[in-house]
């Protein structure tokens, strides 16, 4: 299959035959994979706009258009139906160019594994949907508040505390303390446990007012049936939920309307979007999103963020009112789609005065503050990289830096770690760990020199040298550095790589062939960057070592 831009006659015929109805279009690559799914109230004009030279496409969309080899479309009866169909298709196929938001690890999610018989609840920074039933709530900006809320919820509601049972034939201490309902021994049915977890989910959906009413009815019913212990537990849960907003600083006078307020702040490299969830007159959640598509119009960015966000949530999480910083290009379509999902009227407005405008301004202020923090971190990284380049006399700033460390316990379960920093920032997708296979490294006999040599040889063996790092840092002194350089010399890479070692005690940097450390100070930005890299390599190696040790002990 040939790309459409290389076949002008075929492209013209396809565009000419497109209908003028509302609908959804699918752009496919040469191998048949779906690149992008879009909607439009007028299919012909929208699809044509992608292939017109006069259109000022963003860089991301322009790259996508050059990859399109085929087009498909589905006609719908209305624009709202087109948006609903687009949402379902995106959720099913997850096209790469439909993902506007970055999966940034700065903001955590709360996960509930509904795919399991007895679901777990935990905080994670990786949103990896392995099962369609699992639900992720967030991403939450205020990490401290999220942890406090989860801790309070686990005190109020008896929940599963461990990923696997501690004992085979009896529950652990959490059951005796009332913290767990005895999931490991199935002392509670799946249905009863899921009912408890559904109440917990309502807290992180911002539906605490609705949950309070449910608990109030259950408490009154239990009291009527003379089940006073159960009524007391429900009373404590109600009081605990009310304490969540005891110190709430953001509130609105109208407690009847649930609303979301969205705003953004952007520079030339990144756009920060924040979404405030107001329920019952209180700010219950503050969500944060990132995107690098800064060329798009602000209203288009906010529209896409809202579509991607509400695509992931349940109907009960959709508010009755959405306040936007900028006019959305397809606000009516989005409003109609959300109204159909919620079953109640959902309005989208750009407030210009009084309390609602002040709320949007507050959201924009928070987004701007988040962007300033990112800019400061970016500037600090650049200063550290510049200082490191000066220390090592590098011709340019090191873009990819790799750090290596070894972890073991008197020779047992010896492992090696490789961590990667890209532009001074951890790139965890490139992290690797190694089980040391050297037979000489065994119980009672460790050899960090031989272990590091093995890790480096395996890292740069044939077929793995396409992406060479600008700098390699070894955790250790001159001995560890010599062992690594011996291997690199054998595989003819010693002259192509810059390799250093960082000694722990005085944070001294050693170069191969130099008997004395480089003249540096531990407080220098470049040295501090190497320390962060070294600590991350140590943490990653130690966590893998402990994992192997615990697995063997279990």
Q: Looking at the predicted structure, is the pLDDT value of residue 488 above 80? A: yes
307 and 184 in a common domain: no
364 and 234 in a common domain: no
| Total domain count, the chain | 4
**Per-residue buried b or exposed e for 311-334, using 16+ beta carbons within 10 Å of the residue's own CB:** eeeeeebbbbbbbbbbebebbebb
Domain at 286, CATH number? 3.30.420
540 and 458 in a common domain: yes
pLDDT number for residue 140: 83
Strand partners, 285: 277
404 and 530 in a common domain: yes
C-alpha–C-alpha distance, residues 480 and 296, integer Å:
50
The percent of residues in the chain predicted with pLDDT above 70, rounded, is: 94
C-alpha–C-alpha distance, residues 358 and 368, integer Å:
15
pLDDT number for residue 440: 80
Which of 418, 421, 393, 379 is closest to 520 using CA atoms? 393
404 and 549 in a common domain: yes
Q: How confident is the model at residue 464 (pLDDT cuts 50, 70, 90)?
A: low
239 and 291 in a common domain: no
C-alpha–C-alpha distance, residues 368 and 50, integer Å:
32
Q: Is residue 391 part of a domain?
A: no
Strand partners, 140: 287
313 and 238 in a common domain: no
Q: Copy the structure tokens of residue 137.
A: 């709530």
Q: Could you report the per-residue pLDDT of 14-29, keeping only the tens digit for each? A: 888 888 889 999 988 8
Q: Could you report the per-residue pLDDT of 133-188, keeping only the tens digit for each? A: 888 887 888 788 788 888 888 887 888 887 778 888 888 888 887 788 888 888 88
The percent of residues in the chain predicted with pLDDT above 90, rounded, is: 22
527 and 474 in a common domain: yes
pLDDT number for residue 216: 85
97-115: average pLDDT:
74
Q: Is residue 395 part of a domain?
A: no
pLDDT number for residue 349: 94
408-423: average pLDDT:
87
Domain at 38, CATH number? 3.40.1440.10
Order of all β-strands in the sheet with 121-124: 121-124, 109-112, 135-137
517 and 438 in a common domain: yes
Q: Is residue 231 part of a domain?
A: yes
Q: Could you report the per-residue pLDDT of 471-481, keeping only the tens digit for each? A: 999 998 888 89
- Residue 163, Cβ density class (10 Å: 0-12 exposed, 13-18 middle, ≥19 buried): exposed
Q: How confident is the model at residue 463 (pLDDT cuts 50, 70, 90)?
A: low
Per-residue CA distances from 26 to 39, 74, 101, 293, 334 (Å): 9, 9, 20, 21, 20
Q: Copy the structure tokens of residue 483.
A: 């062992």
Q: Looking at the predicted structure, is the pLDDT value of residue 104 above 60? A: no
Q: Looking at the predicted structure, is the pLDDT value of residue 224 above 80? A: yes
Q: Is residue 153 part of a domain?
A: yes
Per-residue CA distances from 89 to 25, 37, 79, 126 (Å): 10, 8, 15, 23
3-class DSSP assignment, residue 337:
helix
Strand partners, 404: 418, 474
Domain at 523, CATH number? 3.30.420.340
Q: How confident is the model at residue 244 (pLDDT cuts 50, 70, 90)?
A: low
Q: Is residue 177 part of a domain?
A: yes
Q: Is residue 215 part of a domain?
A: yes
pLDDT number for residue 448: 84
Contact 399, 423 (CB under 8 A): yes
Q: Is residue 379 part of a domain?
A: no
467 and 415 in a common domain: yes
Who wins on pLDDT, 55 or 69? 69
Expressed as residue numbers, the domain containing 331 is 259-373
**Per residue, what are the HEC states of 174-230?**
HHHCCCCCCCCCCCCCHHHHHHHHHHHHHHHCCCHHHHHHHHHHHHHHHHHCCCHHH
Q: Could you report the per-residue pLDDT of 173-215, keeping only the tens digit for each? A: 888 877 888 888 888 888 888 888 888 888 887 777 777 888 8
Q: Which residues, in sequence order, are CB contacts of 96 under 8 Å at separation 6+?
A: 35
Of the three residues 187, 213, 243, the one that is the final residue of a domain is: 243
Count Cα neighbours of 18 within 13 Å in the Cβ-side half-sphere.
26
547 and 433 in a common domain: yes
Q: Could you report the per-residue pLDDT of 384-396, keeping only the tens digit for each? A: 999 999 999 999 9
Of the three residues 202, 217, 243, the one that is the final residue of a domain is: 243
542 and 411 in a common domain: yes
Q: Is residue 251 part of a domain?
A: no
């Amino acid at each position: 299959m040939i790309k459409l831009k290389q076949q002008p006659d075929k492209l013209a015929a396809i565009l000419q035959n497109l209908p003028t109805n509302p609908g959804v279009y699918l752009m496919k690559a040469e191998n048949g994979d779906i690149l992008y799914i879009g909607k439009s109230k007028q299919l012909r004009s929208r699809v044509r706009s992608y292939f017109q030279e006069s259109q000022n496409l963003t860089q991301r969309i322009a790259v996508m258009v050059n990859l399109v080899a085929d087009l498909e479309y589905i006609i719908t009866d209305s624009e709202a139906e087109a948006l609903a169909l687009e949402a379902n298709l995106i959720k099913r196929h997850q096209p790469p160019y439909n993902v506007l938001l970055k999966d940034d690890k700065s903001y955590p999610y709360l996960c509930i594994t509904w795919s399991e018989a007895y679901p777990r609840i935990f905080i994670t920074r990786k949103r990896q949907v392995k099962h369609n039933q699992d639900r992720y709530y967030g991403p939450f900006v205020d990490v401290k508040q999220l942890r406090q809320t989860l801790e309070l919820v686990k005190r109020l509601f008896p929940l599963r505390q461990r990923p696997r049972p501690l004992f085979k034939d009896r529950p652990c201490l959490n059951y005796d303390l009332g913290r767990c309902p005895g999931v490991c021994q199935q002392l509670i049915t799946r249905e009863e446990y899921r009912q408890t977890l559904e109440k917990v989910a309502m807290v992180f959906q911002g539906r605490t007012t609705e949950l309070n009413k449910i608990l109030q009815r259950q408490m009154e019913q239990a009291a009527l049936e003379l089940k006073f212990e159960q009524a007391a537990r429900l009373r404590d849960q109600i009081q605990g939920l009310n304490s969540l907003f005891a110190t709430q600083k953001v509130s609105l006078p109208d407690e009847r309307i649930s609303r979301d307020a969205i705003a953004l702040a952007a520079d030339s490299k990144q756009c920060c979007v924040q979404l405030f969830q107001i329920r019952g007159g209180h700010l219950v959640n503050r969500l944060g999103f990132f995107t690098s598509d800064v060329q798009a119009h602000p209203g288009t960015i906010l529209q896409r963020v809202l579509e991607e966000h509400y695509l992931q949530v349940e109907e009960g999480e959709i508010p009755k009112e959405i306040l936007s910083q900028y006019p959305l290009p397809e606000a009516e379509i989005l409003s109609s789609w959300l109204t159909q999902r919620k079953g109640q009227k959902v309005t989208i407005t750009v407030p210009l005065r009084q309390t609602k405008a002040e709320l949007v301004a507050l959201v924009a202020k928070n987004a701007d503050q988040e962007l300033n923090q990112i800019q400061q971190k970016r500037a600090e990284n650049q200063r550290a990289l510049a200082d490191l380049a000066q220390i090592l006399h590098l011709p340019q700033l090191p873009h990819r830096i790799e750090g290596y460390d070894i972890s073991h316990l008197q020779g047992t379960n010896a492992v090696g770690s490789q961590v990667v920093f890209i532009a001074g920032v951890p790139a965890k997708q490139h992290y690797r760990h190694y089980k040391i296979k050297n037979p000489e490294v065994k119980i009672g006999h460790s050899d960090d020199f031989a272990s590091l040599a093995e890790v480096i040889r395996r890292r740069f063996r044939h077929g793995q040298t396409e992406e060479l790092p600008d700098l390699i840092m070894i955790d250790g002194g001159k001995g560890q550095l010599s062992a690594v350089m011996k291997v690199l010399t054998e595989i003819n890479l010693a002259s192509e790589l810059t390799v250093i070692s960082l000694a722990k005690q005085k944070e001294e940097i050693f170069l191969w062939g130099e008997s004395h450390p480089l003249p540096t100070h531990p407080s220098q930005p470049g040295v501090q960057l190497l320390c962060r890299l070294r600590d991350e390599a140590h943490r990653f190696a130690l966590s893998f070592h402990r994992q192997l040790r615990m697995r063997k002990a279990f």
